[in-house]
Structure 1
Amino acid sequence: MTASLVTSLAAPTATIAATPVGTSPNSIFVQIASYRDSQLIPTLLDLINKAKTPDWLRIVVCWQHAPDETLGGFWRQGFGKWRAETASNWTIQHLDYRGAKVELIDVPHMMTQGACWARNLLQQRYGGERYTLQLDSHHRFVERWDTQLIDTLELLRGESPKPMLTAYLPGFDPANDAHLRGDPQCLNFDRFGTEGVVTFRGKRLPAGKARQHPVRARFYSGHFTFADGHFAEAVQHDPDYFFLGEEISISVRAFTHGYDLYHPHYLIAWHEYTRRHRVKMWDDHTSQAKQRGEIDEHWSERNARAYRRNRALLGIDGETYTQQEFGKYGLGNERTLAEYETYAGISFTCRGVHEATLNHEPPLPPGTPRPDETTWKASLRRANDIRVCLHRNIFNKHAATPGTQDTLACAASAVVTIHDGSETVLHRKLADTSSLSEYRTNNWLDFHVIFVSALEGIPARYVVELFDEAGNLLSRVGHAVVI
């Protein structure tokens, strides 16, 4: 990646630092990025009401809201002691609830630049608190969550100078949150996305020994992380990231800054995953909004730029960068990227994943020497995410019987075969009638084929064959893999 490209991505972020104030020994700086979320106020109420000591909390919310989402909603729920200040052209609304300090960075929703930009704005408000907790704006909590997290983090001091607790929390439904259930979860590798972003999925933490002590983690969760307060300064979110890429980049940057990631071994909170209860930025920041002059960029433009930035930072597919290009949003100097790859069992350069990582085995202890390159590569499998996207016209053009129309609509099943550059078959996927109906949208066949192969098995081409109910070939189309 060229310096000019990265420089254009790293636009200055307005500083809205908080005025330092006296803090208690157990003060917690809570960061919440919220975009038009009806669950924000219920989340704040539950967060504060379930804390043992609410006056330990200083909660800063990047409140990205529409004109009809007003302060009145907070006042009606008992938030008070209101005052306002202006910092770097942003209005900060100050409120109080049961002794907890709440600050709303007042951001009109069409002025936002994405989730990571919002998280960065929050981190500018860090005021020296002892701990920090990063959340989304749709959660529920256990009783005395604050003391439990503090006690657990301090328990880890014997094995790590900079521990942090992070997890994908079990889910809940805001429409029925009276009987919350679930188990503590760990983060497991899911896939290398088409654009090179590593994604994870939550999995229930096994019972037994794993439930007796915090468990070492490979990955960081954007919706729940508890750490020393200095984490909010040392590993700030890159405002030029948009959404996907945030978690793997912070995982690596935290590790290379000397932080050790752990999953809590007990249930601490719940997270709402469905997004049914809130509008998303991509619903508002549309092409129409750009044409009306309401926004500078479509959300997908920001997203594409973030993907390029992530590829450069982590060396996806061999891309490179210099530390100067990323500045404080680059890697740390306490550990190397190679050490993280050894720890997590991942190779960004070749989209490789260690067998132990695929099998959800615990990570190696930090500092474990990597074996020689031949042995290391022999332990890796290539993670593939191939997008198959073809229009009905291309299927008609390549119909088994020339002139046949609507072969895609008539198909009862499909077979996708992935080949490498020498036409060796790497993977074959059958789409039956039920799955094929899900993949057909507006005259397109569009879905992803996710699989692992030998490290040297690099996908180059896919072939899609459509069949009728009797198994007769309707069409056969080949297409180059796009990465």
Structure 2
Amino acid sequence: PIREDDSIFMSIAAFREHLLADTLAYAFSNAKHPEKLFIGAVVQNCFGKNGIEDFCAMSDYTKYCTNGQIRVIYMHESESLGPAMARYYASKLWGGETFFVQTDSHLKFAVDWDEKYRNEIKLTKNYPKSILSSYPPGFEQKHFIPKGFNGTLSDINNTVVESPGCRLWEPRPSQIPFIAAGFFFTRSEILKDIPFDPFLPWTFMGEEISLSLRAWTHGWNMYAPRKNLIIHQY
């Protein structure tokens, strides 16, 4: 059963990740209610580097490891079946928390990100069957403008056209067509309505489209959060 205590389960798939410990540290240190945050991580590394052990060795965070808030499945990197399968395994570590958030393993989080996302999703038209999702800005960007249509030519030759008439603020999150696998925030009922597909080995391209189609055809709508509360190392 799902607990109605505003707890959050964070699913993380990490492959040869050097920023996992830092990502967890940012998530807990900047959460308004870190006692309600639970991690389910699939760590796919060679022997030697262990981001979970590094995180748990930090004196400020040891308590989260000893009281059961960090759940882990370890795999050798040579046995990895790709991100979709790792996320399927991570979902099996869910323990009844109210909300489900899937993230990449190389992020930084804004202050009070947990409470702000909980409040944001409740403003969506289709709540509780709503999903907040986005592609966050990157670490290395020197300047980021979070309101659209003020861009420049990117390294993949996509031009963002300036539009002086665009609205800079919306009263509630805007509906979008797709889920970004690197970050989405929703209620945990999604794990019962559309369990993660266990038959997508080595799938990268197509993971997000499959998940989006399955969500939408089961009555879930996707929305873009109005503010970026995370940044990503691309």
Q: TM-score, normalised by structure 1?
A: 0.42
Letter in 1 for 2:232: H
Q: CA deviation at 1:148?
A: 0.7
Give the superposition deviation at 1:272. Answer: 1.4
Question: How far 1:231 sits from its partner (Å)?
Answer: 1.2
Higher strand share: 1
Question: Quick check: 1:42 aligned with 2:5?
Answer: no
Tell me the SS of whatever aligns to 2:122.
Answer: helix
Q: Aligned-pair distance for 1:213?
A: 2.1
Match of 2:146 in 1: 183
| Residue of structure 2 equivalent to 1:326 | none
Shift in Å, 1:265: 1.1
Equivalent residues in 2 for 1:21-420, closer than 5 Å:
23=3, 25-70=5-50, 72-78=53-59, 79-80=61-62, 95-96=65-66, 101-156=69-124, 158-173=125-140, 181-183=144-146, 208=167, 210-241=169-200, 242-273=203-234
Aligned positions, number? 220
Shift of 1:268: 1.4
Q: Moved runs in structure 1, 4+ residues, more than 4 A?
A: 158-161, 179-182, 203-207
2: CA distance, partners of 1:268 / 1:35? 23
3-state SS in 1 of match to 2:6: coil
Q: Which runs of 5+ in 1 are unaligned?
A: 1-19, 82-93, 187-200, 274-483
Q: Distance in 2 between matches of 1:109 and 1:180?
A: 35
CA contact (8 A) 1:167 1:225 kept: yes
Corresponding residue for residue 420 of structure 1: none
The 1-side partners of 2:117 and 2:74 are apart by: 29
Q: 1:180 to 1:39 in 2, by over 3 A?
A: farther
Contact 1:30 1:60 in 2 (8 A): yes
- Cα 1:262–1:150 shift into 2, 3 Å: same
Q: Give, in whole Å, the separation in 1 of the partners of 2:229 and 2:3.
A: 24
1:80–1:95 CA contact under 8 A, matched in 2: yes
Cross-structure match for 2:153: none
Cα pair 1:172 1:180 within 8 Å, conserved:
no
Shift in alpha-carbon separation, 1:185–1:250, aligned structure 2, 3 A: farther
Deviation string 1:283-306 (CA, Å, 9 cap, x unpaired) is: xxxxxxxxxxxxxxxxxxxxxxxx
CA distance in 2, matches of 1:244, 1:255: 19
- Cα distance in structure 2, aligned partners of 1:107 and 1:184: 40
The residue matched to 1:95 in structure 2 has which SS?
Answer: helix
Deviates more, 1:28-37 or 1:159-168: 159-168
Give identity over the alignment, percent.
28
Amino acid at match of 1:164: I
Shift of the 38–214 alpha-carbon distance from structure 1 to 2, 3 Å rule, reads same
Q: Between Structure 1 and Structure 2, which shows a larger proportion of helix residues?
A: 1
Confirm or deny: 8 A CA contact 2:174 2:225 kept in the other structure. yes
Secondary structure of residue in 2 paired with 1:172: coil
Measure how far apart 1:106 and its partner are: 1.4
Q: How do 1:416-435 residues align onto structure 2 when only pairs under 5 Å count? A: none
Q: Which of the pair has the greater relative contact order for Cα pairs under 8 Å at 6+ separation?
A: 2
Equivalent residues in 2 for 1:9-20 (5 A)? Answer: none
> SS in structure 2 opposite 1:147?
helix
Task: Report the RMSD for the aligned CA atoms in angstroms.
Answer: 3.0
Whole-Å separation in 1 of the counterparts to 2:179 and 2:57: 36
**1:114 to 1:239, Cα distance in 2 relative to 1, 3 A:** farther
Q: Alpha-carbon deviations, 1:219-239, whole Å to 9, x = none?
A: 110011000111133223323
Maintained 8 Å contact 1:171/1:182: no
1:360-415 per-position Cα deviation (integer Å, ceiling 9, x unaligned): xxxxxxxxxxxxxxxxxxxxxxxxxxxxxxxxxxxxxxxxxxxxxxxxxxxxxxxx
Describe the shift of the 1:54–1:214 C-alpha distance in structure 2 as closer, same or farther (beyond 3 A): same
CA distance in 1, matches of 2:109, 2:161: 18
Question: Gaps (5+ residues) in structure 2?
Answer: 150-157
User: Which residue is 2:152 aligned to?
Assistant: none
Whether the 8 Å CA contact 2:126–2:220 is kept in 1: the answer is no
